[in-house]
Amino acid sequence: MLFPEQVIPFLEHHDPIVQEHALRYFRDSFDVGPLTADHFWAIIDRLGENDSTLELAVRLDEVPQTDRSLHRLVRAFGGNPAEIFDFHYQHAAAAMDLAVLARNRDELLSCPQLLPHVRDRLELRLKLLDQDPAIAWNRLMEHGRELGAAYVGSFNTSLSDALIEAAARGGPPVCEQALFALADESAADDWREIFAVRVLGLARYEPAVSALVGKLALDDDVLRDEVNRSLARIGSVNVIDRVVAFYPGKPWHVRLFASGSLGNIKRPECVSALIQLVALEVALGELEADSDPNQDDSDSLIDELLHDLTLLGSLEGLSESRRLIAAYPEHPEALDLCQSVLATAIMTGVTLPEESAWRSRLKPREVRTSAGRDDWEARSRDIRDQWRKTGIPWLDAPQSQQAPAAIAPKPITPLLQTHADRLEPIRNST
């Protein structure tokens, strides 16, 4: 597999599919080695604000910040950036590392281009620095009850995010309270359960691993996405072992999410774990070869696991990837796997005899993606405008519904599933 320091140079690779894969390697990975926002700014400075650097701007809020990157962000605001770049710069400001923010609060907060709700968010985070984490936890639970069954994306998350950050500083005493919340069935009726999961992940609380893995059995996709982020953030060998032990015998909708953290934990043990789960899926497919293809439990998730291997910079399972790509040459998930395997091969210095044929196969998809760009841009501009005004990311979102599950549509083939857990947040698609 590849480690973060080996992947960083590929962020500037001349091949777009390699650049994209290097960015995907770091997404939702919380041990990113020496990577900081300074690496992204260096590329943006060299190439300018354009289509080739937009994705770097999108990801600025996901990578560690430094004093230097904060100074560069402030200069970017003053340079009259393109509207879509400014949108993502605002998100980077809102997510600024708290220690960096505290050292440079006057510089960032006095920036005239900062949106009012972004400035309010930063001021709240700074204010909570001096508050007892136990008080922040209690306020967080009250806020979770107040939100009730509010639809995900229908409210400004500034308060909950700031309280989660403050509560996570409370260490074991607060984390034990979060574990109690996970065991409280009533907490699943509102936002308390999800907030507790996030606190445990942000605190990297190892004793929570078993309880978090157990939540993957629940048919709640929003919760399971958050659980996987928290497990990836904890990132220990114990997480890997617990996931592998949990996976066998579970129905399709559980297995779909059960391995979701493994591609984001950059440990060699994850390669072995994913290969083990591929073998389980192969055996399951052989046992259920004659089962009803309309039943979820007959669906294999081999392609999901193989894709996760590429997110570790590994070509383990290459023969199985080749088989799936050959069997379903036009399926979107096969094309996604094809691109990921090709990029991983380039990054690891492996020459694939299929490279030319696979690149030809990928070209029609690039044309289709470009063709739909204008329609999506009109929609995404409306989304960005709403967020600028309110801090709420979704248009026309119902204000009071149970937090929805991002249900994966039934796959076209029994072997290739829609990657429900890889759906980008709306702002990252704009």
Please give the C-alpha separations between residue 142 and each of 124, 138, 147, 157, in angstroms, as whole numbers.
Answer: 17, 6, 9, 14
Q: What are phi and psi of 156, to 5 degrees?
A: -70, 125
Low-confidence ranges of the chain (pLDDT < 50): 290-298, 397-430
In the chain, domain spans: 36-128
SS3 413: strand
In Å, how far from its chain's centre is CA 208? 20
* pLDDT in the model for residue 364: 78
According to DSSP, the residues that pair with 413 across neighbouring strands are 416
Judge residue 123's burial from the number of C-beta atoms within 10 Å of its C-beta, 0-12 exposed, 13-18 middle, 19 or more buried.
middle
What tokens appear for 388 in the block? 């600028």
Percent of the chain with pLDDT strictly greater than 90: 79
- At residue 282's C-alpha, the angle toward residues 281 and 288, to 5°, is 85
- At residue 167's C-alpha, the angle toward residues 165 and 170, to 5°, is 120
Count, in order, helices (H) and strands (E) of the chain. Answer: 23, 0
* pLDDT in the model for residue 422: 27
User: What is the DSSP secondary-structure string of 154-186?
Assistant: SS--HHHHHHHHHHHTTHHHHHHHHHHHHH-GG
Contact 301, 251 (CB under 8 A): no
Q: What are phi and psi of 413, to 5 degrees?
A: -125, 155
* pLDDT in the model for residue 174: 98
The pLDDT tens digits of the residues spanning 27-84 come to: 999 999 999 999 999 999 999 999 999 999 999 999 999 999 999 999 999 999 999 9
* Nearest in space to 271 (alpha carbons), one of 233, 225, 318, 231: 318
Contact 46, 79 (CB under 8 A): no
Amino acid at 332: P
* Rounded Cα gap, residues 231 and 213, in angstroms: 8
According to DSSP, the residues that pair with 416 across neighbouring strands are 413
pTM of the model: 0.88
Long-range contacts of 119-126 (CB under 8 A, 24+ apart): 120/158, 121/94, 121/158, 121/161, 121/162, 121/391, 122/93, 122/94, 122/96, 124/158, 124/159, 124/162, 125/98, 125/101, 125/162, 125/165, 125/166, 126/98, 126/101, 126/102
* Rounded Cα gap, residues 284 and 43, in angstroms: 45
The pLDDT tens digits of the residues spanning 367-382 come to: 555 555 666 677 788 8
* pLDDT in the model for residue 366: 64
Contact 354, 364 (CB under 8 A): no
Please give the C-alpha separations between residue 257 and each of 59, 304, 351, 418, in angstroms, as whole numbers.
Answer: 23, 10, 32, 12
* pLDDT in the model for residue 370: 57
* Rounded Cα gap, residues 224 and 204, in angstroms: 17
* Rounded Cα gap, residues 294 and 296, in angstroms: 6
